[in-house]
């Protein structure tokens, strides 16, 4: 698997993968990313412009997308719990993770996110955060497998906005 920063020419494929993720969550009965909430074309375009959006490529085909977002997330400042540490250099957050339906349940998300964690570390970040809906068991399993620690819950100002929040504190 190769990973690369997304470009504008990747946007159509990225949105197809986001839709695969939305459909998968809906099939699980999850309200996450439903009813007009969740990643959209404008947000993904913004992530591309800001060099936050990354894609995983297998056999010259984009199979997954995620955004590695730098900067303070206001939702994360109001955690019902406690972050492991607050890094003076700031943190990066992994957001908008989705895998193409034909590549789901093959360990792609874990490998992809592992590579993004490595990139964050190379860029000097020791504090990586991620969140997911409390019943997104597949994502929670991936998050746990990558060594993240549950820190509490945050709430996005949207319907069903409660999320479990995790942190990976690197040496």
Overall average pLDDT of the 104-126 stretch = 96
| Summary mean pLDDT of the chain | 95
From the options 3.40.1390.10, 3.40.47.10, 3.40.630.30, 3.20.20.100, give the CATH code of 2-169: 3.40.630.30
* DSSP E strand stretches across 61-126: 61-70, 80-81, 92-99
pTM for the model stands at 0.94
Minimum mean pLDDT among 10-19, 78-87, 136-145, 151-160: which range? 78-87
- Residues 165, 151 contacting (CB under 8 angstroms): yes
Backbone angles phi, psi at 35, to 5 degrees: 55, 40
Other C-beta atoms closer than 10 Å to the C-beta of 70 total 14
Other C-beta atoms closer than 10 Å to the C-beta of 129 total 23
Overall average pLDDT of the 32-36 stretch = 94
pLDDT band at 86 (very low <50, low <70, confident <90, very high): confident
What is the pLDDT at residue 45? 98
What is the pLDDT at residue 171? 82
Residue 147 CB contacts under 8 Å (≥ 6 apart), including other chains: 168
Beta bridge partners of 132: 164
What is the pLDDT at residue 112? 98
């Amino acid at each position: 698997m190769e990973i690369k920063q997304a470009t504008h020419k990747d946007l159509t494929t990225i949105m197809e993968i986001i839709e695969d993720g939305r459909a998968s969550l809906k099939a699980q009965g999850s309200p996450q990313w439903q009813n007009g909430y969740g990643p959209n074309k404008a947000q993904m375009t913004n992530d591309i412009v800001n060099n936050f959006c990354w894609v995983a490529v297998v056999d010259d085909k984009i199979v997954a997308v995620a955004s590695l977002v730098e900067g303070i997330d206001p939702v994360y400042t109001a955690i019902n719990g406690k972050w492991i540490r607050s890094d003076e250099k700031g943190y990066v957050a992994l957001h908008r993770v989705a895998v193409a339906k034909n590549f789901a349940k093959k360990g792609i998300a874990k490998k992809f996110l592992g590579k993004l964690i490595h990139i964050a570390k190379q860029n000097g970040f020791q504090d990586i955060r991620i969140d997911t809906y409390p019943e997104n068991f597949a994502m929670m399993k991936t998050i746990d497998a990558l060594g993240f620690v549950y820190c509490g819950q945050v709430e996005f100002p949207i319907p069903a906005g409660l999320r479990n929040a995790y942190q990976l504190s690197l040496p």
